[in-house]
Amino acid sequence: MDRSLNVACIQMRSGVDIGLNVETVSAMIRQAAEDGAELVATPEMTTLLDIRPGQTREKAVQEQGDPALKALQAVAADCKIWLLVGSIAVTLEDEDRLANRSILISPDGTTFARYDKMHMFDVDVDDGQNYRESRAYCPGETAVVAHAPIASLGLTVCYDLRFPQLYRALAQAGAEILTCPSAFTRVTGRAHWHTLVRARAIETGSYVLAPAQGGDHEDGRETYGHSLIVSPWGEVLAEAQGEEPGIISAKLDLSAVAAARSRIPSLGLENSFSVTGFTLAQVEKGC
């Protein structure tokens, strides 16, 4: 049985104007769909990238009432595609901090799965900036595999990429495609981005979709770009050249997942250590 899937990743340079970000990404999603994409993925912080203290908190709302998310759900329904909104910032009940939430939308415009980024980027980077994501964001506790009709997707976000035990758990739970929407800094991206994305694909025998933010942002952040689509054998199938906004695409042969895992059957081996710190949810019929 043919199990092919046309996918696209959107590379953005999101700013501090939510309306403008939504307008920009909506046009790019529609273009990707017109070009044949059945699954489109956008970067981390698609609708707002603003690391200035308090600014994102001031503009964030709960997921159910987010007009930006509703607009993107309407685009998915209109284009009849699966849409991974890489992440948005949402408020939480009984919690002062936000969630950095990745949302998978089905072709009918409803939310099929959601995942809150678990690993917080608390790092001093050699770019003149200090990042303390845990001050503003509450880490998620649940890993998510979304068993959609098109494929089984393991959802992650950005800094999660440095924690291979998460990706192994997602692959062992049936994920064929691992998504990693990101906003890697220019410094860490130059040093590690390609190696980490390819390593997660090779280790798990999975496709990896890694749509990214790129360029100099209004809030002063500098991101690396170079969005990637990588095969289960670690081959780069598509890459955005540099930091400019754009669309990359590829046709995935999902049978390649089983083939790669049979050639290197490391997922079948029992872990020599216990993976702790999160539970795992498998979404089969939508939220």
Element (H, E) at 78: helix 67-79
Tell me which of 38, 44, 222, 239 is the catalytic residue.
Answer: 44
Give first-to-last CA distance, the chain, whole Å. 28
Calculate the average pLDDT of the chain.
94
Q: What is the pLDDT of residue 177?
A: 98
Confirm if 5 and 251 have CB atoms less than 8 A apart: yes
Q: What is the pLDDT of residue 269?
A: 65
Distance CA 234, CA 202 (A): 5
Distance CA 33, CA 86 (A): 17
Q: What is the pLDDT of residue 130?
A: 66
Q: Quick one: which of 260, 212, 175, 238 has its CA closest to 37? A: 238
128 φ/ψ sector (left φ>0, alpha ψ -120 to 50, else beta): left
pTM of the prediction? 0.94
Query: 136 vs 110, which has greater pLDDT?
Result: 110
Q: What is the token pair recorded at 286? A: 């939508």
Q: Quick one: which of 40, 29, 42, 44 has its CA closest to 5? A: 40
Tell me which of 9, 158, 176, 239 is the catalytic residue.
Answer: 158
Confirm if 152 and 177 have CB atoms less than 8 A apart: yes
Q: Quick one: which of 234, 229, 193 has its CA closest to 208? A: 229
SS3 250: strand
Give the other-Cβ count within 10 Å of 205's Cβ: 24
Distance CA 75, CA 79 (A): 6
Q: What is the token pair recorded at 230? A: 């990588």
CA torsion sign for 101, 132, 184, 46 is positive
Q: What is the pLDDT of residue 107?
A: 98
25-41 pLDDT, tens digit per residue, is 999 999 999 999 999 99
| Catalytic residue flag (residue 158) | yes
Q: Which of 51-65, 101-115, 199-213 has the lowest mean pLDDT?
A: 51-65
Distance CA 287, CA 283 (A): 7
Q: What is the pLDDT of residue 273?
A: 44
| Catalytic residue flag (residue 203) | no
Q: What is the pLDDT of residue 156?
A: 98
Tell me which of 9, 38, 79, 117 is the catalytic residue.
Answer: 117
| Catalytic residue flag (residue 44) | yes
